[in-house]
Structure formats: C-alpha cells, structure tokens
Amino acid sequence: EDVDYKKSQKFAAHMQEKNEAVSDFAQKKTLDEQRKFLPIYAIREDLLKIIRENSIIICVGETGSGKTTQMTQVSFEETNLLVLNQYLHESGYTKRGMIGCTQPRRVAAMSVAKRVSEEMQCKLGDDVGYAIRFEDCTSEKTIIKYMTDGILLRESLTDPDLDHYSAVIMDEAHERSLNTDVLFGLLREVVSRRQDLKLIVTSATMDSEKFSDFFGNVPIFIIPGRTFPVESFFSKACVEDYVDAAVKQCIQIHLGAADGDILVFMPGQEDIEVTCELIKERLNDLEGAKPLSILPIYSQLPSDLQAKIFQKADDGIRKCVVATNIAETSLTVDGIMYVVDSGYCKLKVYNPRIGMDALQIYPVSQANANQRMGRAGRTGPGQCFRLYTERNFREEMLKTNVPEIQRTNLANVVLLLKSLGIQDLLQFHFMDPPPQDNLMNSMYQLWILGALDNTGSLTQLGRQMVEFPLDPALSQMLITSVGMSCSSEILIIVSMLSVPSIFFRPKGKEEESDAKREKFQVAESDHLTFLHVYIQWKKSGYSNNWCSDHFIHAKAMRKVREVRQQLKDIMDSQKLDVKSCGNWDVVRKCICAAYFHQAARLKGIGEYVNLRTGMPCHLHPTSALFGCGFTPDYIVYHELIMTTKEYMQCVTCVDGHWLAELGPMFFSLKDSLKTRGERARKETSERSTMEEEMRLAQEKLNRMKEE
Ligand code: ADP
Ligand code: MG
C-alpha cells in the first residue's frame, strides 16, 4: 500500500512537471510572438545604431509600441557589448552597470518589471527588479531595474555620477513629473561627466523638440506607430454628473455595440469604486444582460487585483476597465475598442489659500484627452465617448498640462538640491523653471521647520532630514522626537502615516467595522489612535487573524512594520536613538512641534479656523475627535482634504501654550485674539525678513566669490 501511494504521488508530480513544461513553452512562445509583433521590434537595428552612436537620445512612440518593456532589454544587449569592448580595452574592468528605467508612477514600475521578468524568464527581483519608496525588489543579480523617478533622484545623493548604471531610460517624460524634471537637470550634468553613460528619454507625445533642445539638440528617434482611426463623440450638453453619465454610456455600449473592451477614465479611486458598483447594480437589474467583467485600476489597488486588467476575460465576456490616468500612457491594456472619458483627473496643486498642496479634481488638458482617445485605436478602429462638450474641449481645456514643478510645493526638491551642494536654486538648469514665488514659499516652509537658516543654507537638522525618504514635516518630527525621548512612539506614527489606509470598511458591515474601529480611538488624537492600533497588533504577535477580526488590512500593517524597520535603520545609521518615554502627552507635544504651522482653533461645534490663514476647516468624520463629545480648543492636523468642505485629516489635540512655545514666529498667546489681517501681516513681514536676510547673505557670498 505504502509503495503504491508513493508511486502515485510521484506520478502526479511527474505529470505536473510535464504540464508546467508544456504551459511554459506555450507561454514563452506567445510572449516571444507578442514581443516580435510590437512596433519597436521592426526598427530594432536602427534603434541600436542610434544608441551606439549617441550618449543621449529622445525616443518617441505611441503608447503600446514597446518603449517601456523593450527598450531596457535592447539597451541591455547593447551596453553589454559596450562593456565587453571596454573590457578588452582596459583589461581588468569587470564592473557591469545596470539598466535603470524610471517611471513617474509606482504601479507602472512594479507592473512593467513583472512583465519584463516574465519575458526574460526570470524571477522578479533577480535579473529584473524594481524599487519604489519603502520597497526594494532587486538583488545583487539585478541588471534591469525599474524604479520611480523619486528613487533615482535619491540614489543620486549617494552616487552623484550614477556609477551603478550603464544606461538610464527616463520613461514617460511627457508626464513632466516633478522628480523627472529635477532629474533632467542633474542627468544633463552626469552625462557630460560620464562618457560611457547612455541616456534615453522616452515620450508618448510628439512634443519632443523641447527635450531635444534641452539636452543640446540630441537626436529624436521616432518609432513608427500602428494606430487605427478612432471616432470621437462629444456630449451635446454639459454633463452634470460624470459618474452617472459614464455608467449610462458603459451600459449602452455593453448592450448595443459590437464586441470589444471598454476603458473608462475617472479622476480617482472614489469615483472608480462608485462607477464599478453602479455598473454592476444596473446590469443586475437588467434581465438577460450578458455578463461584463468590471475591473478597477488605481495606484492604491492591491497588486494582485491590478494584474487582472491585463488578463483576458473568459471567452465571450466583455471587459470594462475603469482607470485613473494611469491607463493613459503608463499601462497599456490590449483589446480596448471603446473609451469613455470623464474629462477629469486629479492633480496635486499648490493652494495658496491653505498654504500647501492639495489633490484636487481638474479638467484634463487637450493633450491628455487626445491621448485617452487614442487608447481605443490600438488593435482596431475604435470609438471614444467624451463626457464634455466640444466647446468645453476647445475653450476650457488647456492645450497641455502645466508641469508639476510649476504647480506644487518644492520643499523636498529644495532640500535635496541643497544637499547636493546646489546653493542658488534659481541658477539650476530647469527645463521650465518653477515660479520664483513657489520656490520662496517652499524655502520659507523649510525655514519654519528649521531645515534652512536665515541665509538659506541647510542646517544640521536639514542635513539629517534629507536622509529620510519622507515629507519634510514627518522627517522633522522623527528627528525632533529623539530629543524629546519619544522617538519609539513617533517612529510608529510616522510609519503608519506612510502607508495607505489601514482601516477596512466592507460593504454591508459598516456598523460592525465602525464599532471595532471606535475601540481603538484615543479621544484626543488620531496619531495616538494609530499608535494604539500598532501596539495592540504587536501584542497579538503581529497576527493576521487579529487584523481581520478588527477590520484592519493585514497587508497594510505588514507594510507599516517594514517601513518602521527601514526608517529605524536610517535612524541607527544617523545615531538617532529610538527610545520611549511612555508618556503620550509628550508624544502629542512632539507632534505639535512638527505640525505647529498646521494648527487650528475651535470656533463652533466641529468647526475650526486655521490659525495662520483664518480659513474655516472641519474635523473629518473618521477622526477620533469627531463626535466624541470632547472638543479641544487647539488642534494640529496632518493634511487637509478638499471635498465639499475643507476637512482636516489626522488630527491631534494640543495645548495653546505649546503652540506659543514651539512656533513663536507664528503665535503668541494673545495672538488668538488678533484679527486674521494682523496675523497675515505678521506672517508676511516674517517672510520678507527671511527673504531679505537670504538676499543679503547671497550678495555677501557673491562678493566673497568675486574677491
Ligand atoms: P509603451 O511603453 O511604448 O507604451 P509597453 O512596453 O509598455 O509600451 O507595452 C508593450 C506591450 O506589452 C503592450 O501592448 C502590452 O501588450 C504588453 N504589456 C506591457 N505591460 C504589461 C503587463 N504588465 N502585463 C501584460 N502585458 C503587458
Ligand atoms: Mg510606456
């Protein structure tokens, strides 16, 4: 009996192996075939030639032509040859550089790395890997590395010549993300220092002349596209509710139009979730409607669900992908025949009224809208339904997007460039320089945090802050906590703030999950509530079951733990002690020390006014302080979100005296009685003092240089 059993098991294993081999083969063949079908394949030799002959090239090609997935592999083959030559030339040279490819979006970096690892038949993280903030999936073996542009920017801090790389591909340059724009300036210099480095800048749009000019008139290589005509339909009248309109449009396509998948563009996660839900509901109500596979995609979606958009739906079932602008150029979904475009996207824009960046919904630009339309014509002729009028399009939409560098807070960039030794940021070679006001504002913010001194130079604190891959306020809080002996607690809080929402509120179980959540709430602080959750989770032995019992995302908590460890490693390397004082009032005071510039005073029930701007703002309903009967006079907040009202998210109650003590440049206790106008004048004069001091210092510096 025993023998028989083993035999059968062995047989099963054998069969499985065989099956795997067969499916491996099938997959390899199709992947290979797919690769050869891509437009880039046809011009591969020309591409190789131009890379060989130039240090920098601009490469333009329609979305889906194979830039992101193939260029790395092509460059790898090419630079390997180069390295070989070099090897022969100066014997003993064994260093082999990586091929780096930057992406403005985390999702794209991960998903494309996975795809390329499949094409190269290796495990993700071996030959092909990716790195995003707090997640490094590369190894000693890695030769092709996808990463966010932020990662490469940080790497340039410790490796200014990027010696680890033999080629850098800056992908999605047309997106003009803040980090990409800064990298442009830095890489231009790196290439002039390193003859052996190849830089390839890719763009999905034709406005590449500007890139070419910036890098000194470098060649532009165009990948001939294969596109089909797309018929475009504008709305006849203004659309009141784009979610509702999109749902109707999808149902109509699904019921009436020929086969082909649908791609819907929505501004963000909330709208995507609602849209998916509504389409599902309405189809359920329709008798005899064919099934539809509805798939959301946005950056915070877990990666296994993200991967679904690339899989073919079961035979005969239509796919409906509901996406943010990530599907505009970063990710290509094959087989789309219908595009439904809400005409909106979410953009991070500096809002002078609140004195910080806010993620808000804006109309897309004409360039974006056309890009979205193009998604319908990849595999055959398609149709695009635009949920705005032709007049909206022509008269209200900008031609192209305003680059991020011209519309967001630059505090992190300033910190980074300063620590790279670039003193005068106005002299830095930007493709489109940021407005001077923007730069000054960001410097002012850093000055408030103590990262810059009156002359605009980095302080000791500022230098330490650069080491952390965090927003300036958070790294300042972490460093400050060491002196206040509560770094153990603050380390956890900062880690919790660095991952997306940990609370989980499933449909149909709202009350149950809310009740569980309430149990964790520390009445005076959302930050402390986070701390409380983490400590309880730790007590449970970091248990997954504990998480699901309490409606907490286990995956998010594991991420928090990883982030905590990574930040702790940095603290160790900086000789910053991790210690606990066990007193949560001290923790609150430390939070106050980092956030004092984001403080508000009680005005009515649940209503506060911002202490600096006088703007009314409200407690978010998910806050521990909301409706708990305890209404503190002063609070500080982590961020503002703007929906129907201005909501403060993640709030902690503080003592008025602390504000006066910690932020003397802003508040004295009497201050709360003063008018908004007086406060504004005070702040303006503070700022002009700083600017004046900085100007004088700069002049002095210039004089010294001349002498
Ligand atoms: P480009 O960068 O020029 O827009 P890509 O290299 O991203 O083009 O995509 C080329 C092709 O590779 C796409 O048409 C798609 O078929 C395939 N592809 C890319 N990423 C994935 C993925 N994550 N999963 C499956 N297929 C993918
Ligand atoms: Mg691409």
- The region that residue 450 occupies, defined by phi over 0 for left and psi between -120 and 50 for alpha, beta otherwise, is left
User: What confidence category does residue 222 fall into, taking pLDDT thresholds of 50, 70 and 90?
Assistant: very high
Q: Ligand 1 center to residue 257 CA distance, Å? A: 26
Q: Name the residue with the closest Cα to ligand 1, atom 20.
A: 112
Q: Measured from the CA of 40, which atom of ligand 1 is nearest?
A: 3
For residues 247 and 273, the answer to whether their CB atoms sit within 8 Å is no
Q: Ligand 1 center to residue 451 CA distance, Å? A: 42
Q: Name the residue with the closest Cα to ligand 1, atom 21.
A: 115
pLDDT of residue 10: 52
Is beta strand 616-619 parallel, antiparallel or unpaired with respect to 607-610?
antiparallel
Say which residues have a Cβ less than 8 Å from residue 236's Cβ, sequence separation at least 6.
389
Both tokens of 253, joined, read 């396509």
Phi, psi of 445 (to 5 degrees): -60, -40
Q: Ligand 1 center to residue 307 CA distance, Å? A: 12
Buried b (16+ CB within 10 A) or exposed e, 342-381: bbbbbbebbbeebbbbbeebbbbbbbbbbbbbbbbbbbee
Q: Ligand 1 center to residue 333 CA distance, Å? A: 7
Alpha carbon distance 243, 57 (integer Å): 41
pLDDT of residue 28 exceeding 60: no
Say which residues have a Cβ less than 8 Å from residue 672's Cβ, sequence separation at least 6.
601, 611, 656
Within the chain, how many helices (H) and strands (E) appear?
25, 21
For residues 167 and 159, the answer to whether their CB atoms sit within 8 Å is no
**Mutual orientation of helices 436-449 and 411-419 as an angle, nearest 10°?**
80
Alpha carbon distance 557, 562 (integer Å): 9
358 secondary structure, DSSP code: E
How far, in whole angstroms, is CA 552 from its chain's centroid? 23
Q: Ligand 1 center to residue 25 CA distance, Å? A: 20
Both tokens of 529, joined, read 């509530």
Lowest mean pLDDT among 16-30, 268-282, 444-458: 16-30
Alpha carbon distance 654, 14 (integer Å): 67
CA dihedral 14, 18, 20, 21 (to 10 degrees): 140
CA angle (513, 644, 610) in 5-degree steps? 95
Closest CA to 246 of 125, 333, 338, 127: 338
Q: Measured from the CA of 63, which atom of ligand 1 is nearest?
A: 4
Per-residue pLDDT tens digits for 402-437: 999 999 889 999 999 999 988 888 889 999 999 888
Residues with CB under 5 A from ligand 2 (ion): 67-68
Q: Over range 3-11, report the average pLDDT.
A: 46
Mean pLDDT of the chain: 86
CA dihedral 87, 93, 94, 98 (to 10 degrees): -80
The residue type of 615 is: M
Q: Ligand 2 center to residue 264 CA distance, Å? A: 19
Q: Ligand 1 center to residue 67 CA distance, Å? A: 8
Say which residues have a Cβ less than 8 Å from residue 344's Cβ, sequence separation at least 6.
242, 266, 267, 361, 362, 363, 364
Provide the whole-model pTM. Answer: 0.86
Q: Name the residue with the closest Cα to ligand 1, atom 27.
A: 115
pLDDT of residue 378: 86
Q: Measured from the CA of 34, which atom of ligand 1 is nearest?
A: 16
pLDDT of residue 671 exceeding 50: no
Q: Measured from the CA of 71, which atom of ligand 1 is nearest?
A: 6
Sheet bearing 56-61, strands edge to edge: 135-137, 128-132, 144-148, 98-103, 165-170, 198-203, 56-61, 220-223
Q: Ligand 2 center to residue 554 CA distance, Å? A: 32
Both tokens of 85, joined, read 């030559």
Q: Measured from the CA of 114, which atom of ligand 1 is nearest?
A: 23
How far, in whole angstroms, is CA 453 from its chain's centroid? 30
pLDDT of residue 300: 84
pLDDT of residue 210: 92
pLDDT of residue 22: 42
pLDDT of residue 691: 66
Among the bound ligands, the one closest to the CA of 69: 1
pLDDT of residue 680: 65
Q: Measured from the CA of 378, which atom of ligand 1 is nearest?
A: 14
- 332, 371, 375: which to mutate for ligand 1, most atoms within 8 A of CB? 332
Q: Name the residue with the closest Cα to ligand 1, atom 16.
A: 334
Per-residue pLDDT tens digits for 467-504: 999 999 999 999 999 999 999 999 999 999 998 888 98
pLDDT of residue 674 exceeding 90: no
Among the bound ligands, the one closest to the CA of 111: 1
What 3-state class would DSSP assign to 367? helix
How far, in whole angstroms, is CA 185 from its chain's centroid? 21
Q: Ligand 1 center to residue 68 CA distance, Å? A: 7
Alpha carbon distance 636, 658 (integer Å): 11
- 115, 171, 227, 334: which to mutate for ligand 1, most atoms within 8 A of CB? 115
Q: Ligand 2 center to residue 176 CA distance, Å? A: 14
HEC string for 310-321: HCCCCCCCEEEE
pLDDT of residue 220: 96
Ligand 1 pocket (Cβ < 6 Å) reads: 38, 61, 63-70, 111-112, 114-115, 310, 332, 334
Q: Over range 381-391, report the average pLDDT.
A: 96
- 30, 69, 202: which to mutate for ligand 1, most atoms within 8 A of CB? 69
Among the bound ligands, the one closest to the CA of 116: 1
Among the bound ligands, the one closest to the CA of 371: 1
Q: How far apart are the first and last CA of the chain?
A: 96
Q: Measured from the CA of 61, which atom of ligand 1 is nearest?
A: 3
Is beta strand 318-323 parallel, antiparallel or unpaired with respect to 292-297?
parallel
Q: Ligand 1 center to residue 370 CA distance, Å? A: 20
Neighbour tally for 4: CB within 10 Å = 8
Among the bound ligands, the one closest to the CA of 306: 1
Pick the more confident residue, 687 or 638: 638
Per-residue pLDDT tens digits for 538-596: 999 999 999 999 999 999 999 999 999 999 999 999 999 999 988 999 999 999 998 88
Both tokens of 681, joined, read 């004048």
Per-residue pLDDT tens digits for 43-70: 888 888 888 889 999 999 988 889 999 9
Q: Name the residue with the closest Cα to ligand 1, atom 13.
A: 64
Is beta strand 634-642 parallel, antiparallel or unpaired with respect to 599-604?
antiparallel
Alpha carbon distance 167, 79 (integer Å): 7
Q: Ligand 2 center to residue 68 CA distance, Å? A: 4
Alpha carbon distance 462, 476 (integer Å): 8
